[in-house]
Every structure is written in C-alpha cells, then in structure tokens.
C-alpha cells in the first residue's frame, strides 16, 4: 500500500490548488482523479474573475496559489469591469483558452516535487478511531494518508438532466462517484442535493456577428497575477452581446414541460444568482429580454459559449430558443446545454480550517460543500491544502477572518451559516469590501503566504518594495502642506475644486477631494501604476477606509474571545432551547462567529458572553 502525507480526491480547481499547496509546503501528496486528461477542466464558462470572484483569484495569488498566473498564461481576452464606479470597485474578468488552461494545470502539477498524480476513482474513505486513514479506489488500489482532502465537485451521485432525459454522470462525458457519496454519508455527514447548469455551445462560423455589440479586449495592459507583467492582448477573440426577445420567451413558456426544471425530474436546488434561462423567464415575466454573451472557448476551437442560456430543455427546444435570438438564427449547436444535480456535504460539519469536526484529518472543499464557481473552489482548495500540511507539520492552523480577506468571508459564511443553494461569492456578502479590494490583496496577504512558506522570498520582496513605495508616497503627501499662494491653486481651479484657505492643507487632504488626481499634486513620472493607484484609492476613500478599519478592529475583538472547543451547549440553561440547538450545530470557535450564526438571538448572545467572561 502506497503512503502519502496528503491525499487529494478530485482535480478541479479546489483539488488542484489544494494538492499544489500541500506539496509546495513539503508534504508528500497524491492527487487522485478519474481522468488525468481532465485536470483543471472548466466545464462551465471559459472565464475567470468578475465582481467578488476576481478578489478571490488575487487573494489565492497573493498566498502563493496558481490560478491567476495560469489565467494570465492562457487568456485570450480580458476586460476591466465596473469602470464607472471608481477604482476601488473595478475588477478584472478574463476569457481563457479552456484547453490550454487545463494543459497548463497538468503541466504545473506534473512538474511539482513531492506530488504524484493518480488516475482512478475513490470509492471509500476508511476511518479508524475517528481519524481518516486511507482511501480505496475502484481499480483495487489502496492509498494510505495522514490527511485526506475531498474536492469531488459535482461527481457525488451526479445526474445530468435534459428535457425528459436523465442519466448518471459527474459531468458531461465522465462517470459519477457513487461509492464516495455513500462512504461520506456512512461517516455521518448530512448530505443534500444541489444543481447547476451549462448552456449550449455553437460553431463560430454559423454565428452572424454583423449587428451584434462587440466587446473588445482591453487596450490597457492588464494581468491577474501580481507576478505577471501586464500586457495588451491581440483583439482576435472578442466577446459578442445579443439578447433574448419576445419570441424566445414565448417558446420557453409554451414548452416548460420539456424542461427538467419544471417537469418534476429535478430535485436539487439551483443557484439563485445564476439561474437557468427558463427560470428567469418564469420568475421575471415583466422582463422583455435577457443578455446573452457569446464567448470564445479556445484559440484552436470553433466552439462559442452562450453565457446566459443555462438550460435543462430538451435538445429540440434548445434549437428553437437559440435560433430565435439575433445573430444565432442559423447557429449550429455542437453541444447542448444540460443541468446536473449532485450530493453535497453540509459545510456546518466543518471548522474554519475546512477540516471535518467529526473526522480528524479529513478536509472538504469546493462544490462538494455547496459552493459554485472556479474561483470559490480555488480559494477553498488552497486553504484546505495549507491546513492539511500545517497540521501534519505540527504548526498552527491557517484561518483568514472576514476582515482580512474575501476568502475569510467565503469560508466563514459556509461554516457558520451553511447553504440552502449553491453559494456564489458576491461583493454584497463582504461588509468590508472597500478594504478587501482586488489590487491590494498582495499587501493584505503576501506576508501570510510567505510566513507559511508558500510564497517565495523573491515574490514577497516585490510586495515589500511596493508597500514601502506606497507608504513613502503617502507620507510625502501628508507631510507636504501648501497655502493659498501656492501655484497648486491653478490646478484646483482646473478641477473645479475650491481654492485653499489661509490655513492651507496637506497634499493628502487635497487628494481626498473628488476631482483632484495625484498628478495634479506631484510629478507622477517614475511612479509605478500599482503604487499610484493604491495611494489614490487610499486618499479618495480615506474616511470610508478609516471606518472599515474601526469595524474590522471591533470584529477582531469579538473573534479574540474564544469559545472552548468541548463546550456543552445543552448545559447552558440560561440560553433558549433554540439558541442552544443552533450553537451546538455550528459549534462556533469564537464569540464573533457566534454572533453570525443565523437565528441566535441577542439575548442568547448576551448570556453566552456572560458565561465566557466567567
């Protein structure tokens, strides 16, 4: 029997980042997947980033993960979104070559020391004395491990649904994982059903783009990774925008019985924030059209992805829907859309390290605990991989708080609130989103990645250089004062900003003004864009950032009040019966986390605080 320190089950984005992190931290690691050719596969849209998600990608990058760098290596198209909302809210979104992307992941993992790839299907996790010890594969192989990470995606009892047709599959072209689902249930995990969907893919040559809105790639150099030189891509693979219409909606309403979502075939709960097209038409009858993005799948592929037409209709209805849309009248569908439903494990079983509370050494991450999205999966994967490795090395566990990272928000939401639908990271979920920006992730998290041993010295030194430059420029602006006779008043007048009064102001105080730019105050030649942008944001949002930092400090104080791990909530009779039940189910690690458990009353929290202080 082969032995590894860490065994990772599943090679989607969660499994890839988990295995990479564990191996890079010096523990022997095996990554087990059904098909080695599908490592890092993007079964849904061929894109990375967007609001909420882009921040996760950059945080994974700052910690020492790979998603951002591989996106930069394989992207065909990239845009900056939310450009009308100010620099703090702007995020990147890239279209990758999905085929090159998965090849890049496989190449990286195969070249990583201490990491073995194993093709096979895990059927059982063997637990002894409440600790995960080994896995059994369908192929007859057994692997023993000191830690096991489950990142099985949509494969657990997966079932594809299309019209009146249903068949078992983990995703299109791959078998489901039945034995592993049974094994997890037998270990005592609560499991429910979720579902997600994909749209049709059409042949590029059969799409008429003449009258469609064209979204070119950015003409400004961009990159996701802090370690990649930003560049302008050739505008060879644009995205096109079209819309559904009244005829599309009529076809959908007249054929709902041919959708697995409405004919009773489907039992899983779907994502509220990314619903199927038929669900949107039914739920929003007043909307006369919905956007459809026609996205390229790869440099050497003619397939185009119809984002916005997620559907579980029968193929003949999909044909009619697609052909009713402008630009797609003669489109040839190469792959039909489908929905897939699957088992997931209630994340309330997990601690903030993503280790199961009832089985030591067993970690779960990605869609298997109720999330949706590549970025969410990667973020959980790197945390699970780090914690598995640190535990085996006898080092302190790694937990990010809500005030430190969007990853912290993601994991805290999962292990504190659970999920009732596929969880997708949204900016609105982050109460400190102005502080947790995309482009300051390196300043927030690189020190942690370096201290763990995941981020190399050379990359960390680059972060320190940027931090020093930002601090130095900020200090110069705060220490430099100007008066009413200074020529800078001419710049203020050009920006429609009021002139200086007799007591003058610091340059930083002037930068806070809405229309004043850094170049109005100081020569900007030689200042790197990454430094200039960070300083401008700190100036423009100074008041808001100060309030965020006060809130985060308050959150830290709440989280510093630890709750004993073995606390018997049933014995806390001063709390309501419901409060004791809710807290016992989540088992929060701190008073701060207890305040976020849904349904726990303020009275119960007050009594819990009294108990903890005693």
486/518 Cα distance (integer angstroms): 16
Residues 84-107, buried b or exposed e (16+ Cβ, 10 A)? eeebbbbbbbbbbbbbbbbbbbbe
The 10s digit of each residue's pLDDT in 260-294 is 999 999 988 888 878 899 999 999 999 999 999 99
Looking at the predicted structure, is the pLDDT value of residue 153 above 90? yes
> In terms of Cα–Cα distance, which of 470, 474, 467 is closest to 444?
467
Of the chain, the percentage scoring pLDDT greater than 70 comes to 100
Under DSSP, is residue 425 helix (H, G, I), strand (E, B) or coil?
Answer: coil
Specify the pLDDT at position 602. 87
CB 238 within 8 A of CB 215: yes
Average pLDDT over residues 481-496: 82
CB 363 within 8 A of CB 353: yes
Query: Which has the minimum average pLDDT: 32-46, 216-230, 490-504, 541-555?
Result: 490-504
> In terms of Cα–Cα distance, which of 331, 371, 364 is closest to 349?
364
Higher per-residue confidence, 75 vs 491? 75
Under DSSP, is residue 451 helix (H, G, I), strand (E, B) or coil?
Answer: helix
Beta strands 362-364; 142-150: pairing state = parallel
140/597 Cα distance (integer angstroms): 43
Looking at the predicted structure, is the pLDDT value of residue 456 above 90? yes
Average pLDDT over residues 1-26: 97
Identify the structural domains of the chain with CATH numbers, from first to last: 2-74+104-197+342-452 (3.50.50.60), 201-339 (2.40.30.260), 466-547 (1.10.10.1800), 561-613 (1.10.150.570)
Looking at the predicted structure, is the pLDDT value of residue 183 above 90? yes
Higher per-residue confidence, 546 vs 242? 242
- Find the angle CA(223)-CA(226)-CA(232) to the nearest 5 degrees: 20
Specify the pLDDT at position 553. 85
Mean pLDDT (the chain, rounded): 94
> In terms of Cα–Cα distance, which of 382, 366, 378 is closest to 423?
366
Query: Which has the minimum average pLDDT: 153-157, 341-345, 473-477, 479-483?
Result: 479-483
Specify the pLDDT at position 514. 85
> In terms of Cα–Cα distance, which of 135, 258, 272, 127 is closest to 188?
127
Nearest-10 crossing angle of helices 457-479, 529-540: 50
CB 266 within 8 A of CB 339: yes
Alpha helices in 75-171 (DSSP H): 98-110
39/13 Cα distance (integer angstroms): 8
Specify the pLDDT at position 498. 85
Looking at the predicted structure, is the pLDDT value of residue 542 above 70? yes
Place 470 in a pLDDT band, splitting at 50, 70 and 90: very high
Specify the pLDDT at position 88. 67
Place 180 in a pLDDT band, splitting at 50, 70 and 90: very high
Place 494 in a pLDDT band, splitting at 50, 70 and 90: confident
Q: Identify the burial level of 543 via C-beta atoms within 10 angstroms of its C-beta, where 0-12 means exposed, 13-18 middle and 19 or more buried.
A: exposed
The 10s digit of each residue's pLDDT in 376-430 is 999 999 999 999 999 999 999 999 999 999 999 999 999 999 999 999 999 989 9
Q: What is the DSSP secondary-structure string of 105-125?
A: HHHHHHTSTTEEEEES-EEEE
CB 561 within 8 A of CB 544: no
Structure tokens at 322: 């697609």
Average pLDDT over residues 200-217: 97
268/609 Cα distance (integer angstroms): 39
Looking at the predicted structure, is the pLDDT value of residue 361 above 80? yes
545/540 Cα distance (integer angstroms): 9
Specify the pLDDT at position 106. 98
Specify the pLDDT at position 612. 84
């Amino acid at each position: 029997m082969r032995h590894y320190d860490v065994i990772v089950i599943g090679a989607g984005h969660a499994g890839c980042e988990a295995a990479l992190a564990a191996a890079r931290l010096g523990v022997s690691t095996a990554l087990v997947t059904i098909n080695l050719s599908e490592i890092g596969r993007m079964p849904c849209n061929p894109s990375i980033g967007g609001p909420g998600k882009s921040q996760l990608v950059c945080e994974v990058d700052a910690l020492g993960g790979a998603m951002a760098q591989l996106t930069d290596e394989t992207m065909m198209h990239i845009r900056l979104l939310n450009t009308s909302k100010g620099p703090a809210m702007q995020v990147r979104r890239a279209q990758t070559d999905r085929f090159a992307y998965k090849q890049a992941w496989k190449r990286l993992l195969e070249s990583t020391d201490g990491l073995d790839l194993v093709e096979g299907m895990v059927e059982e996790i063997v637990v002894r004395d409440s600790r995960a010890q080994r896995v059994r594969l369908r192929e007859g192989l057994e692997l023993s491990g000191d830690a096991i990470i489950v990142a099985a995606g949509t494969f657990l009892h997966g079932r594809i649904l299309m019209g009146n047709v249903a068949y078992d599959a983990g995703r299109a072209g791959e078998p489901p994982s039945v034995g592993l689902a049974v094994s997890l249930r037998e270990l005592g995990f609560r499991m429910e059903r979720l579902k997600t969907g994909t749209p049709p893919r059409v042949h590029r040559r059969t799409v008429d783009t003449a009258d469609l809105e064209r979204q070119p790639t950015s003409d400004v150099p961009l990159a996701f990774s802090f370690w990649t030189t930003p560049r302008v891509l050739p505008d060879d693979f644009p995205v096109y925008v079209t819309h559904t219409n009244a005829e599309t909606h009529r076809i959908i309403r007249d054929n709902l019985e041919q959708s697995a979502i409405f004919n009773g075939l489907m039992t899983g709960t779907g994502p509220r924030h990314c619903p199927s097209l038929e669900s949107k038409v039914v739920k929003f009858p007043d909307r006369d059209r919905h956007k459809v993005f026609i996205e390229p799948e790869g440099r050497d592929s003619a397939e185009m992805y119809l984002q916005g037409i997620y559907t579980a209709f029968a193929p003949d209805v999909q044909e009619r829907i697609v052909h009713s849309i402008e630009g797609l009248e003669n489109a040839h569908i190469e792959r039909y859309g489908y929905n897939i439903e699957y088992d997931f494990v209630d994340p309330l079983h997990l601690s903030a390290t993503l280790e199961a509370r009832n089985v030591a050494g067993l970690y779960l991450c990605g869609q298997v605990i109720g999330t949706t999205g590549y970025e969410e999966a990667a973020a959980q994967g790197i945390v699970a991989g780090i914690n598995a490795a640190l535990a085996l090395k006898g080092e302190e566990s790694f937990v990010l708080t809500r005030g430190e990272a969007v990853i912290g928000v993601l994991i805290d939401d999962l292990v504190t609130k659970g999920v009732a639908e596929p969880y997708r990271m949204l900016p609105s979920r982050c109460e400190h989103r102005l502080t947790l920006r995309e482009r300051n992730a390196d300043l927030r998290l690189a020190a942690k990645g370096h201290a763990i041993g995941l981020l190399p010295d050379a990359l960390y030194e680059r972060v320190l250089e940027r931090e020093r430059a930002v601090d130095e420029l900020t200090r110069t602006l705060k220490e430099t004062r100007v008066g009413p006779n200074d020529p800078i008043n001419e710049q203020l007048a050009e920006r429609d900003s009021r002139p200086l009064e007799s007591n003058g102001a610091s340059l930083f105080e002037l930068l806070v003004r809405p229309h004043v730019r850094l170049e109005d105050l100081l020569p900007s030649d030689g200042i790197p864009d990454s430094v200039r942008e960070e300083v401008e944001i700190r100036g423009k949002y100074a008041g808001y950032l100060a309030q965020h930092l006060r809130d985060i400090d308050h959150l830290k104080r709440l989280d510093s009040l630890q709750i004993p791990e073995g606390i018997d909530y049933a014995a806390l009779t001063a709390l309501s019966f419901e409060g004791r039940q809710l807290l016992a189910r989540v088992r929060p690690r701190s008073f701060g986390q207890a305040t976020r458990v849904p349904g726990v009353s303020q009275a119960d929290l007050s009594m819990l605080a009294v108990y903890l202080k005693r």
